[in-house]
Copies of this chain bind each other. A is one copy, B any other.
Amino acid sequence: MSVDAFTTAADLRAAFRRGLSRPTAGLAPGAVQANLIAVPRDWAFEMLLFAQRNPRACPVLDVTEPGDPATVLAPGADLRADLPLYRVWRGGTLHRETPDATTEWRDDLVAFLIGCSFTFEGGLAAAGIEVRHIAAGSNVPMYLTGRECRSAGRLRGNLVVSMRPIAADRVADAVRISGRFPAVHGAPVHVGDPSGLGIRDLGRPDFGDPVEVRAGEVPVFWACGVTPQAAIMASGVPFAITHAPGHMFVTDVPDREYET
């Protein structure tokens, strides 16, 4: 099936379940998208605490029962198969990427669904602010920063951010619009100078694709739900299944549910 901006969230999930694999920015506009991080029950308290202590990066939208791949955010969806691309982690290292994580899923996995900044991109576009990676048909650029998150038990790691170039005279609007969505990262954590976040080269993101920053534009950085993946790596979590960066879980929840 071909997928475009008019495909519904449920149809998108069905297409992903059948094997379609692509980034989700710009798809199913109006539907909240979410990061996935599933860890063994033994690590669940620390993951939830890490999220609570780093709410800008890890706004929790739902937590599943151990082993259960169902979520209130999309009744009938199967978290093991309905994302376009997964990452399987062993001992804090990326083991493999797969479009279907059903065979790797475990009975003791607790899945966390975490807000994604794609959710407010519709609001930016509606205000006439170009979202560069959507216009370019690429994945959003993401960077591992030098900024340490607040640790939680065995879990520690640095903040990951997404970046969108914004025209200087629209930065205030982008702040205001995204700030209305605190449950999906909210307002930017940093505006301008990438070196302030310890980012050396905007042209070489740690996740996703680079985008052009044009004259008159400022790089604007939002806290990113890939942050738990950085924590998995830094903390050597023995086993985890996550989405692949930019390949999100598309929920049935309308954006406006999270607008304050």
A contacts, CB < 8 Å to B: 41, 44-45, 48-49, 52-53, 60, 63, 65, 153, 182, 260
Contact = CB atoms under 8 A, between A and B. Distances in A.
15 contacts: A41-B45, A44-B45, A45-B45, A45-B48, A48-B48, A48-B49, A48-B52, A49-B63, A52-B52, A52-B60, A52-B63, A53-B63, A65-B153, A182-B260, A260-B260
A260 B48 CA distance: 23
A100 B44 CA distance: 32
This chain's copy number in the assembly: 2
A65 B152 CA distance: 8
Most chain-B Cβ atoms within 10 A of its Cβ — which of A48, A60, A65? A48
Contacts of A52: 48, 52, 60, 63
A43 B48 CA distance: 13
Given A41-B45, A48-B49, A48-B52, 8 more contacts: A44-B45, A45-B48, A48-B48, A49-B63, A52-B60, A52-B63, A53-B63, A260-B260
A123 to B, nearest CB: 18
